[in-house]
Structure formats: C-alpha cells, structure tokens
Amino acid sequence: MWLNKLSQFSAETICGAAEKIIADNDYLPTLHKMLEACRQVGMPKGLPNPRNAYIEACNKPSPKLSQDWSHAAVYLAGRDCGWHTLGNEVERKAFPLFNECYRQYCDRALSGEELAIDPPKELPETAGKKASRAENLKQLKKLQKLVD
C-alpha cells in the first residue's frame, strides 16, 4: 500500500520527507503523515498552502479568469469548487470543498503536470446575413404571444 501511494513522488522527495519527519518526531510516520510530508517537500515553487490558496480564491474579484493568480491550481480549484460556493458559504463548509479540489491539483502539479488556465472561448461570429422583414415580423409575433 505504501509503494502504491508514494509512487507518484520522486525518490528525492520521499527521502527529503522521511528526513523531515524523522527530525521532527519521536516515532516513525504513518502513511498519512508521510504523504503530507511528501506534498510539503515536493511542492513546486509558487504553490501556496491550502489556507492561503483558499483566501486568494475567495478574495479575487470577478471576472475571475482575468485576474493574476499565484498559481493556476488556485484558480482551477476555485472554479471546480464553485465561485458561488466560495463567495456565499461559511468557511467551515467551503474550505473543505476547496481543499479537496486544491489537493487534487497540487498532486497533479507534483507529478509534473503543467497546469494552465484556459483562455475564455471567443464568441462565435454573427452571420453577416440580416433577417428579412418577413422573418423579423414573424419573430415579433412570437414574442407578442409570449408576453400576452
């Protein structure tokens, strides 16, 4: 089970995490503590801790996509968690949801995946052909029926 769970980390990350745990604790680590230590030791530069990422995601104004983010994982976790949830739920409900999404993106970044924020899709070009007068009247009558 340990091998399966730790296989996403490099040997250097695992050794660094083991040294950190052994230096800070009297007992050998549990698998959970080892995974947490590997995440801390192997965290790529620029990735904030979950609490700071949560605060950043909650405090950025809309439109969220046009903001400067400390790391793409923060934006992606906020998007997946739901901006409405982050803006309207109390922290004790919203933070665990955000933290789960953020941890998944952090794990992907740790495994070497390059996370990126996709630019917004462009709106389709409107047809250059204008509707005929008859078509406009037909649409107007449909609207009048809806209103009446």
pLDDT tens digits, residue range 62-112? 999 989 999 999 999 999 999 999 999 999 999 999 999 999 998 888 777
Please enumerate in sequence order all residues whose Cβ is within 8 A of that of 93, keeping only pairs 6 or more positions apart, or say none.
Answer: 85
Give the model's pLDDT for residue 122. Answer: 77
Computed on alpha carbons and rounded to an integer, the radius of gyration of the chain in Å comes to: 24
One-letter amino acid for residue 44 of the chain: P
Give the model's pLDDT for residue 110. Answer: 79
pLDDT at 136 over 70: yes
Strands in the chain per DSSP E: none
pLDDT at 18 over 80: yes
- How much is the pTM? 0.66
C-alpha distances out from residue 67 to 21, 63, 109, 130, Å: 37, 7, 21, 37
Give the model's pLDDT for residue 39. Answer: 79
With b for 16 or more beta-carbon neighbours within 10 A and e for fewer, the 25-52 pattern comes to eeeebeeeebbebbbebbeeeebbebee
Give the model's pLDDT for residue 78. Answer: 97
Q: Are 21 and 32 in contact (CB under 8 A)?
A: no
Structure confidence at residue 127 as a pLDDT band (50, 70, 90): low
Please enumerate in sequence order all residues whose Cβ is within 8 A of that of 138, keeping only pairs 6 or more positions apart, or say none.
Answer: none
Q: What is the mean pLDDT of residues 51-56?
A: 96
pLDDT at 42 over 80: no
